[in-house]
Structures are given as C-alpha cells and as structure tokens.
Homo-oligomer: A and B are copies of this chain.
Amino acid sequence: MAVVGATGAVGQEFLRLFVERDFPVERLKLLASGRSAGLKQEFRGNELVIEEATPDSFHEVDVAFFSAGASRSRALAPAAIAAGALVVDNSSAFRAEAGIPLIVPEVNPDAVLPDSRLIAVPNCTAIILVVAVNPLRELGKIDRIIVSTYQSASGGGAAMMRLLEDETRQLVEGKEPVASHLNTRYGFNLFSHNTPIDENGSNEEEAKVMSESRKILGMPDLKLNVTCIRVPILRAHSESVTIEFDGPAPSVEAVREVLSRAPGVRVIDDRAANRFPTPLDASGQGDVLIGRIRQDLSNPNAISMFITGDQLLKGAALNAVQIAEMILKRTPAIVR
C-alpha cells in the first residue's frame, strides 16, 4: 500500500481513515515530494519515514492512492501500474479518459471492470452532487440541474486552509493581511473559483463538475448550470441545488423518503426547528447531508435542496478508500 501526497490535507485523511475503518494495510509507504522526504509520520504506533515519490517507489505496492496533483499522477501512475499496483487517483489527470472508470461507489460501482488498474476519484464538488442527486432518478427522469456552490478552503489543499486561517487571524487582530497568491483577500471574503475561464465563461472547476457528473451518472446529455464560489469555510463544500425533471416534480415527501434510505446520505430537514445541514455538521464525517428540500416555486417540474459534505473525506480520501474497499471485497487477492 502507498499514499502519494502523504503530507497533504487529503493524504493525512487517508492515514486517519485506514485506522478508523480498519483498512487492511500490511506495509504502508508514505510518498511525497523531495521537499518532504525524511519527515516522520506516526501510523498505528509506528514511526514511518516519508520517501520521495519516484517511478521506482512502487515495488511490491498493491494499492497506490494518489493525491498529489494531476502532473504528479501523470508522471508516476504509469510506473505504479507497471509495478503491479492498483492506482486510485484523486487528481484530475485521467478522469476524462474513455475507459478510465470515474467512480463514486454509491452511484456507479459497476463502472469498475475486472481488469481496471486505474480508478479515478471525481472532483469533490461533483462527488457530493451526484451522491445527493442519483437517488432521485427513481422518482423521474432528471433533465437539468442548477448548482451554486459554497466551497471550502480545503479544496485548495493544506496551503489554502492555512492561508484562510492566517488572514482571518490577522483581520481579527486588526491587521491588514499581506497579499497572497490569490488576486483577492480570502479572510472574511469569498470569490469565484480561481481556475482559468474557458471560452464558454466557465471556470475549470465548473467544467469539471459538468463533465464528471455526466460521466459518473452515465447521462451524457444532462443539462447543468454550475457556479463555483470559494467561501471562507475550512473543510466542507456546500451546494444549493435545483433539479428539474422531465415532467412534474416528485413530492417533497417522496424526495425525503428516497433520500432517507439512500447510501451515503443523511437528511437533516427540520423546518419547525429551522435546522438544516451546515458545513460544520458535515466536517469530519462521511455522509452527504441534505436539507431545505422543497418544491421549486418557479417551476412545477423542479425541486430545490441544500447539500453539504466533507471535501477531504467524501470529496476525496473517503471516496478513494471506499473504491479500494469495494474492489478488495470483489477481488480479495488484489490487496496485500
């Protein structure tokens, strides 16, 4: 077993999840950039030394979890596969490739084929969306989804979480934060997702949510309108979602009923107590939380809801571990 990107925000969640879920790890290799090589990391009472990730790192590795960015995955995943490892890749490197399964275990487990050696973990915002939306397909044909997101710092990694904390600390101390790599302040501020804008006016994150949601759901013609906004929250993404059906929308009761028995979902929807999901509720746990379930008053064919999930867990590390667990269950010999 190997984790590439072990020192990152997602990498650290992998280590916690292996313990928490009693994942069958016999030998664990922690790989990172040369900068982190030699650092020590506690795991199950042992002290592991972080090694630099190179093409030679994967000897006798059965499963390699990659979470070190797309260019690192592109450079090293082929070597890991050649060495015999199953690669579960959290980066965007291979997600769009035909033949590469893009998997959310609650949604499309059967897209993993017996000979799949590389499984891509989708974009965090897409994962949280499809876990919430997929169960509703038993209530009618979904035609269009309109999403506005409230994305956390963790989507930009440990460095962006630190940036948010540092700027916020300076602001509550009455200081003006020094300019960061962002073109705006993050503390007590929000901004359009800072990825390049394409010719349609979508940023890269929005384009990923659209194309990956279609691939995961197996709905190439699904209409999607996505607006991705980064908010000053540490580690859970929220999404305001309107779902238009190809015909009259199901009742709020039917939606609640279907979601309350859907895998990976928890409904928190108490109108009387004004209690709905918050990213704080979602932080540190694995479910996608759903509330504010209601008829869209502007369209009889639509419903709206508000969802939130931990970006580092279900949006990344947990989804990857669940993929490996699923494959292990089918093919126990793969993990050693």
Contacts and interface: CB of A to CB of B under 8 A. Distances in A.
A267 B259 CA distance: 41
A48 interface: no
A150 interface: yes
A92 B174 CA distance: 34
A276 interface: yes
A189 B279 contact: yes
Contact of A165 (B172, B224, B280): B172
Interface in A266-324: 271-276, 278-281, 291-299, 302, 304, 306
B240 A189 contact: no
A298 B244 CA distance: 11
A210 interface: yes
A278 B187 CA distance: 12
Nearest to A294: B201
Interface stretch (A29-37, A225-233, A326-334): A225-233
A194 B274 contact: yes
A298 B190 contact: no
A238 interface: yes
A188 to B, nearest CB: 6
A271 B306 contact: no
B232 A271 contact: no
A63 B297 CA distance: 39
Contacts of A252: 201
A294 B190 contact: no
Contact of A224 (B168, B188, B297): B297
A232 B233 contact: yes
Q: Is the interface on chain A under 10, 10 to 19, 20 to 34, or 35 or more residues?
A: 35 or more
Contacts of A229: 150, 238, 240, 306
Contacts of A114: none
A272 B229 CA distance: 17
A184 interface: yes
A234 interface: yes
Contact of A192 (B146, B233, B242, B306): B306
Contacts of A299: 144, 223, 225
Contacts of A272: 197
A191 interface: yes
Contact of A306 (B172, B223, B227): B227
B201 A225 contact: no
A45 interface: no
Interface of A: 144-146, 148, 150, 165, 168-169, 172, 183-185, 188-192, 194-197, 200-203, 210, 223-225, 227, 229, 231-234, 238, 240, 242, 252, 271-276, 278-281, 291-299, 302, 304, 306
28 contacts: A148-B148, A148-B227, A150-B190, A183-B273, A183-B275, A184-B280, A189-B233, A189-B278, A189-B280, A190-B231, A190-B238, A190-B279, A191-B276, A192-B274, A192-B276, A195-B274, A197-B274, A201-B294, A224-B297, A225-B298, A225-B302, A227-B292, A227-B304, A229-B238, A229-B240, A231-B231, A232-B232, A240-B240
